[in-house]
A and B are shown apart, each in its own frame.
Chain A
Amino acid sequence: SQQGEEDPQALSIQEGENATMNCSYKTSINNLQWYRQNSGRGLVHLILIRSNEREKHSGRLRVTLDTSKKSSSLLITASRAADTASYFCATANGTASKLTFGTGTRLQVTL
């Protein structure tokens, strides 16, 4: 079963704009990870944020985590056409190693 839900399900923006995607989950977590999946390609790991962290940056990516609201957001600044992909959040809880993925946000960046 899917743990999280991404919002929005689909997002279309122009190159240069910022894209924000949200993820909500249901149970307590150890960490939350964001992945990107290009059409027909593999899952690429973007960033991992631990439950005791509130914000993390990596290049043009900024992730926030609010454990009290059981939610996370992924911000992509100055988007590029190459950012067009589906973005998934995934959570790991307790000592369980398995990841539970959300349903994904499909991002379309147009020129």
Chain B
Amino acid sequence: GAGVSQSPRYKVTKRGQDVALRCDPISGHVSLYWYRQALGQGPEFLTYFNYEAQQDKSGLPNDRFSAERPEGSISTLTIQRTEQRDSAMYRCASSLALDRQGAQETQYFGPGTRLLVL
């Protein structure tokens, strides 16, 4: 089956505009994660969902960032009033579920959305 998909792949916007980034996880995957990756760095956690419930949003940098997953499948990460410092690669990942030991399953990443705020 298809992997994790994200759209758009590239987004250029002007400072102050709102942007919405979409993630379509692997079919049947329970958990969905958002990360942000700056050039030359590893990804940093933003938020994650189990089904439609947002479980942890501790990584969202401020209240301009929000995410939803209303039907437990596709998720949207929204950045309001974008600033230049928001420019980065935004990555989505999904995983099947926790395993029987309660350990996290492998996360599979999408290709990312590269956001550039001018």
Contact = CB atoms under 8 A, between A and B. Distances in A.
A and B associate in one complex: yes
Interface of A: 1-2, 30-31, 33, 35, 41-45, 48, 50, 88, 90, 92, 95-104
A101 B103 contact: no
A11 to B, nearest CB: 15
A42 B56 contact: no
Contact of B104 (A45, A97, A103): A97
B110 interface: yes
Interface residues on B, range: 20 to 34
Given A33-B106, A102-B42, A97 B91 contact: no
Contacts of B44: 1-2, 101
Interface of B: 31, 33, 35, 40-45, 48, 50, 55-56, 59, 91, 93, 95, 98, 102-104, 106-112
Nearest to B109: A43
B111 A41 contact: yes
Given A45-B106, A45-B107, A97 B42 contact: no
A98 B103 contact: no
B45 A98 contact: yes
A35 B107 CA distance: 10
A50 B42 contact: no
B103 A30 contact: yes
A103 B42 contact: yes
B103 A43 contact: no
Given A43-B91, A97-B31, A31 B112 contact: no
A42 B104 contact: no
B33 to A, nearest CB: 7
A95 to B, nearest CB: 6
Given A41-B111, A43-B91, A96-B56, A101 B43 contact: yes
